[in-house]
Amino acid sequence: MSAIFRREFKAFFTSPVGFVVVAIVFLFTGFFFTTFNIYNLSPDLSYVFSSLFPVTLIILPLLTMRLFSDEKRMKTDQVLLTSPVSIGGIILGKFFAAFLAFALSLILMIVFAMIIAFQVTPDWAVIIGNYLGILLVGGLVISIGLLISSVTESQLIAAIGTLAISFILLLVDGLAAMLNVPFLITIVDFLSVSQRYSSFTSGLIAYDDIIFFLSMQALFLFLTARVLDKKRWS
């Protein structure tokens, strides 16, 4: 797994993709911090996080679109699947490489929190909750991207598919409310990504929300493993 992780993480920054993603997040983070905090003299970073949230949903598919699609396009997927590395090791190596690249793009938020801390005492529970929440949602989108990337050799299709599924998961609770079916509303309330994320933005870090996001990530990684396992024996 470590060899796959090092190879993939290095690939993000030997191509424009990693730098583009980090640059976009840095650009919007700086803009939102200047607009909401500096101009308004506010110590509350939750506005920056909430504004950054849709940006991460849009740019993360760029980070994941090549993870398996590129292997298929270059005909190196069979070499990878027949290597001594287990399928789980391949998937986790790629997942953690993308996750670390995403986490590094958010490092500016830590800098901004420290700047605020020099002036006033910030609400650390809200800052930590927002940071943890956006990392968990990011991990979910990355796991979705791995699955979509494993079923197509087109990076464009992989990016669009990941973006579409991510937005469906975020909007599904609104769709269920429009149908006004109590049974569906109950199920959707339990599975709602947006509602569980909103708890983090308020500084409420609940174990069941963390377990939910980790379980969803594990589900998509498991489905990716099944896709790759079928290819290995086909």
pLDDT-derived band at 81, boundaries 50, 70, 90: low
Residue 82 has pLDDT above 80, yes or no: no
H/E run at residue 13:
helix 2-13
Residue 194's pLDDT is 78
pLDDT-derived band at 48, boundaries 50, 70, 90: confident
Report the 10 Å Cβ neighbour count for 40: 11
The alpha carbon of 217 is separated from its chain's Cα centroid by a whole number of angstroms, namely 10
Question: What are the structural domain ranges in the chain?
Answer: 2-232
Stretch among 105-119, 131-145, 152-166, 180-194 having the lowest mean pLDDT: 180-194
Contacts of 119 (CB under 8 A, 6+ apart): 43
Contact 22, 28 (CB under 8 A): no
Residue 148's pLDDT is 92
What is the tens place of the pLDDT at every residue in 105-120? 888 888 888 888 888 8
The residue count of the chain comes to 234
pLDDT-derived band at 58, boundaries 50, 70, 90: confident
Query: Which of 91-108 are b and which e, b meaning 16 or more Cβ less than 10 Å from the residue's Cβ?
Result: bbbbbbbbbebbebbbeb
Residue 6's pLDDT is 84
Work out the percent of the chain whose per-residue pLDDT is above 90.
16
Query: Which of 152-177 are b and which e, b meaning 16 or more Cβ less than 10 Å from the residue's Cβ?
Result: bbebeebbebbbebbeebbebbeebe
Stretch among 15-24, 140-149, 158-167, 193-202 having the lowest mean pLDDT: 193-202
Stretch among 50-54, 159-163, 222-226 having the lowest mean pLDDT: 50-54
Residue 141's pLDDT is 92
Q: Considering Cα of 216, then 52, then 148, then 64, what sign does the dihedral take?
A: negative
Whole-angstrom Cα distance, residue 126 to residue 116?
13
pLDDT-derived band at 221, boundaries 50, 70, 90: very high
Residue 152 has pLDDT above 80, yes or no: yes
DSSP 14: S
